[in-house]
Structure 1
C-alpha cells in the first residue's frame, strides 16, 4: 500500500476494462505544467517575456508553489504511486528555454517509471510565428525524449500499446497517420496520448467559453479573426482523415484518447464505447491516474 502521498496533488482516476488483459497496469498522465524557468543565457526579450509569463501563473497559484515546484511534486507522486508508466502530454514547459529543458532532464532522471513525452504548442513556441519550421527547429532540444520523425512514439507495456502523438500544430501528417493505422491493425489494445483534443460537439462550448476560439484538432467553426490570432491553419486533409478514422470502427481496439491543452477536465465518447479524456493542467495540481484492468 502506497503511503504519504502529496495531499496537494489530486489525480483524476480513470478505470478502463480491457478484455483479456493479463495484468493490471497503472499509467499517470501529466499535462500542461507550464514551467517558466529562465536565466541570463536567453536574450533579454525572452527573459522579459518569461517574467510576464511567470507572473501570469503566479497570480493563478495565489502565491503558492511555482509551476516548477508543482511539476516536481507530480513526478514524486508518480514515484510514490509506483505506476507502470508516466506519459507527459505537452505544454510541460511554457517555452523552450535552456533552464526549462535542464529542469526537465534533472527531474526525469529521478523518475522511476518508464515514460513517454509528446510536445504541446508551448513546448516549442514562445512568440513570433507559429509554424512547422519553428517546431522543427526546436525539436533537437527534446531529442533525448522524442524522435524527430514522425512525431509518433509507440511503446508496448503488458500487451497494451501506448502511443504518444505530436499534434501540437493542430495537425497530423500522413506518416503519423500511417504509423497509428499500422499499430491499430495488430488488434492489440492501445491508448492514444496527444496534446490537443479532437473536436467533439459536446466539448466545443466549454472550450469556446474559456478561450474564445475552438482550439481543438479538426474543428471547422473558426472565424477568420480567431484563426489569425491563434495562427491555426485550416485542417490538413491528412488530419481530417485521421479524425474520421478515430470516430469509426476502423480505429480498432483503441481504449481511450488522453490529452490536455484546454486546461479543464472533460470526458466524452468519440465513438461508441470509446472516450476522450481531457485532463486539467498540472499547474493546478492535477493529473490523471489511469488504471487498466481485465474485463
Structure 2
C-alpha cells in the first residue's frame, strides 16, 4: 500500500492552473526518507514502492489517495505510465488533494467529479471512481472514496451490497474513520466535524465544511463498517503519521506518507 505520495509534476499545460496549484507544487519537492533518513522525493519513493511490490510479487498494490498534490496532466500521465509498466494489479481511490485545485470555484463534490472525469479517470481502469473492489484469492478488497470526508447514498448502498457477500474483506479509504480520542484528521464520521471545527479552509482555499456537520449517510457508513463481521481491517492514509486503532474489534491501520518513503506491506494469513 502506497498512500500520500503527493506527486507535484507539472509542465506548460499546467500554466493556466498555476494560481490554483502554486502552494502544493512547492510542498513536497524534496523529502527525508522515513527509513534511511536520506533525501528523497515523491517520484523516487513511488518508484521504490513499486519495485518492492514487484519483488514481493504483491497480489495487489493499493493506492488509497493523495497520489497527487493537484490533478495536473503531467502527474497523472507519469503515474499511470509507471503503474502500467510495472505489471502490477492496482486499486486506486482519490484523496482530498488528488482533485483539489486550491481556490477554484465550486463545491468539493463538484470539483471531485470534474477532475476525476477530466484528469484522474485512467487510474480507475474502468471501475466506479467512488467505490470499487477486487476479489483476489477469496479475499474481497473494497476501495471507497471518502476524500470529501463524507459518503454519498450510492456509495453506502454499494458498500452494503459488497459486504453482504460474506467474503473476508479489507477496506481502503483515504481519510481514517473516526476513532475515540482521535483528532479531526480521523474525520470520516467524526462527531465534531463541521464548519465550527474547520481550521484549514483558508489556507486550502476551499468552502468550509458543512455547518450542520456530517450527513446521516456518513454516520451510517461509519456505524455499518464497524458492524461488519467479515471485515478484517480498514486501511487509510491522510494523516502522514502511522497509527493503529481497534474499532469495535476491527483494526484501522493508518500509513505513513509515501512522499517520505512510507508504505505498508499487508499479508493476510488464514486461521490455522
TM-score bracket for the superposition, by shorter chain length: 0.7 to 0.9
Aligned partner of residue 37 in structure 1, secondary structure: coil
Distance 1:71 1:162 in 2: 22
Cα deviation, residue 217, structure 1: 0.5
Question: Larger relative contact order (C-alpha < 8 A, sep ≥ 6)?
Answer: 1
Equivalent residue, structure 1, for 2:269? 293
Structure 2: segments with no counterpart, 5+ residues: 202-207
Distance 1:49 1:150 in 2: 23
Cα RMSD after superposing both structures? 2.2
The equivalences for 1:55-134 within 5 A come to 55-58=26-29, 60-61=31-32, 64-128=39-103, 129-134=106-111
Q: Are the counterparts in 2 of residues 119 and 195 from structure 1 also a CA contact under 8 Å?
A: yes
Distance 1:55 1:283 in 2: 13
Structure 1: segments with no counterpart, 5+ residues: 1-28
Equivalent residue, structure 2, for 1:144? 122
**Does 1:182 pair with 2:161?**
yes
Cα deviation, residue 221, structure 1: 1.9
Answer with 61-70 or 239-248: which moved more. Answer: 61-70
More strand by share: 1
Aligned length: 255
Over 3 Å counting, the alpha-carbon distance change for 1:60 and 1:105 in structure 2 is closer
**Does 1:264 pair with 2:235?**
no
TM value normalised by structure 1? 0.80
TM value normalised by structure 2? 0.86
Answer with 151-160 or 61-70: which moved more. Answer: 61-70
Equivalent residue, structure 1, for 2:205? none
Equivalent residue, structure 1, for 2:189? 218
Distance 2:185 2:66 in 1: 18
Equivalent residue, structure 2, for 1:13? none
Cα deviation, residue 143, structure 1: 2.0
